[in-house]
Amino acid sequence: MAFNLENWIAQKTQEQVIFTFKGELSESMLTDLLVIVENKLEGVEASKKIRKKVYNVAIESLQNLFHHSCPVFLNGTQKKDVRYSIMIITYSKNAIKVTTGNFVDEQKSNFLKKHIDKINKLSKDELKILYKDILDNQQFSDKGGGGLGLVDIARKAENKINYNFYSDKKSLSFFDFSIEIKQ
């Protein structure tokens, strides 16, 4: 069965939605979106500590979407400046979940699978060591992070990263990323 973006969004928004963004993401929008997220989180029944964790995960997630989304085809043409992305933040009494979706190429999906699987195997202390190791050794990519953002998300959320890739049988896959911040 082919991947259907609208069905994916419907599935991800079954819980109480705090925030949703779907569309082209530009650098100038990042700050505005974070202000909206912060304001929406103020209305959520959660401790200040939990809201801060969610906000920090949202920052890293939006930066990842902006820096690492692949050019997408719109109306049959590839537009190199279009960074189509989705972010959904949902709330339940047990957790707040940050979910993102974006298109990535095969090379990026292979890197992400290996990197996330490695992160998910690490303890809290091991994540802290890896984070410092990446910083100390300046293992950064041309886009800046060297995988640091994903490590930081796992550290701040104190939970495992859930992910999936949906292939369109072309050169791109849809990357489904989510993490829960337990209350």
Q: What is the mean pLDDT of each run of 10 residues along the chain (183 residues)?
A: 85 95 90 97 95 97 89 58 85 96 89 95 95 78 68 95 86 92 95
Q: What pLDDT, on the 0 to 100 scale, is given for residue 24?
A: 87
Q: H helices within 94-147, ranges in order?
A: 106-121, 124-136
* pTM of the predicted protein model: 0.90
Q: What pLDDT, on the 0 to 100 scale, is given for residue 4?
A: 86
Q: What pLDDT, on the 0 to 100 scale, is given for residue 81?
A: 58
All structural domains of the chain, each given as residue ranges with its CATH number in brackets, are 5-182 (3.30.565.10)
**Tokens at residue 17, please?**
């939605």
Nearest CA to 9 among 80, 88, 126? 88
What is the rounded distance in angstroms from the CA atom of residue 142 to the CA atom of residue 5?
29
Answer whether 13's CB lies under 8 Å from 88's CB.
Answer: yes
Q: What pLDDT, on the 0 to 100 scale, is given for residue 26?
A: 85
Q: What pLDDT, on the 0 to 100 scale, is given for residue 171?
A: 75
